[in-house]
Amino acid sequence: MQFVNLAAEGKVNPLIPHTAELIVGAIAFTLLFLVLRKFVVPMFEKAFTARTEAIQGGIERAEKAQVEAQRALNQYTEQLSKAQSEAQTLREEARVQGAAIIEDLRAKAQEEAARITAAAHASIEAERQQAVTSLRNEVGALAVELASKIVGEALDDQARQSRIVDRFLEDLEKSK
C-alpha cells in the first residue's frame, strides 16, 4: 500500500518501511534461524566435538603408550640387576663350596696316608715278629744238632732239649 501511495506522489522516503517487507523479513529471518539452529549448528558442533575428542584421544593414547614403555623398561632394568646380583651370589657360593671340597679332600687324603702308613708299620712289625720266631726255632734246632754232635750225647728227650735251647738262648741274649 505504502509503495503505491509514495510512487503516486512521486516522492519516496527511504526511511519508511514497507509493510510487506517487514512481514517477509520477519518470516524469512525466523525461518532461516530455525533451519540453521536445527540442522546446521548441531552438526558443526558435533564435528567440532568429534575432532576435539579425536585429538585428545590420540594424545591420551600416546601418553599411555609412553607410560607402558617406561614401565617395561623399568621392569627389564630391575630384572637385569636382579639377575646380575643372583649370578654374583652363585659365584660366591661356588667359590666357598669349591674351597670346602678341596679342604675336605685334603683332609681325607691325609687321613688315608696316615692309615696306609700305620698299616705298613703294623705289617712290618708282624713280619719282623714272624721272622724272629722262625729264626729262633731254626737257630734252636741248628744249635741242638750242633751240640749233640759235639757232646755226642743223644738228647732225644724233647723237654730237656727245649730247656737246654732256651737256656742257651737266654745266655746268648744276656751276653749280647
Partner 1 sequence: MRVLLRSAEGEGFVPPSTKDFELPPIFGDNVYTTKPILLVFLSVILISVFFILSARKAAIVPSKFQFAGESVYSFVRENLAKEVIGHEFMRFVPYLFTLFTFILVNNLFGIIPLIQFPTMSHVSFPYVLALSTYLVFHYVGIRKQGAFKYFKEILFMPGVPKAAYILITPLEILTFFVVRPLTLSLRLFANMFAGHLLLLVFILGGEHLLQGVIGLKLISPFAFAIGIVLTFFEFMVQCLQAYIFTLLAALYIAGALADEH
Q: Which residues bind partner 1 (CB under 8 A)?
A: 1, 3, 6-7, 10, 12-18, 20-22, 24-26, 28-29, 31-33, 35-37, 39-41, 43-44, 46-48, 50-51, 54
The Cα–Cα gap between 171 and 51 comes to 134
DSSP character string of 123-147: HHHHHHHHHHHHHHHHHHHHHHHHH
Phi then psi dihedrals of residue 68, to 5 deg: -60, -45
Backbone CA torsion sign across 34, 35, 38, 43: negative
Q: Which is nearer to partner 1, 24 or 116 (CB)?
A: 24
Give least dist CB 90 to partner 1, A.
Answer: 58
Give least dist CB 63 to partner 1, A.
Answer: 20
Q: Which is nearer to partner 1, 11 or 176 (CB)?
A: 11
Give least dist CB 65 to partner 1, A.
Answer: 21
Give least dist CB 64 to partner 1, A.
Answer: 21
> What are the Cα distances from residue 80, in Å, to 46, 91, 94?
50, 17, 21
Eight-class DSSP state of 16: S
Q: Which is nearer to partner 1, 58 or 98 (CB)?
A: 58
- Cell triple for residue 34? 530455525
Give least dist CB 18 to partner 1, A.
Answer: 5
Q: Which is nearer to partner 1, 6 or 147 (CB)?
A: 6
Q: Which is nearer to partner 1, 32 or 87 (CB)?
A: 32
Contacts of 139 (CB under 8 A, 6+ apart): 169
Q: 57 near 42, Cβ under 8 Å?
A: no
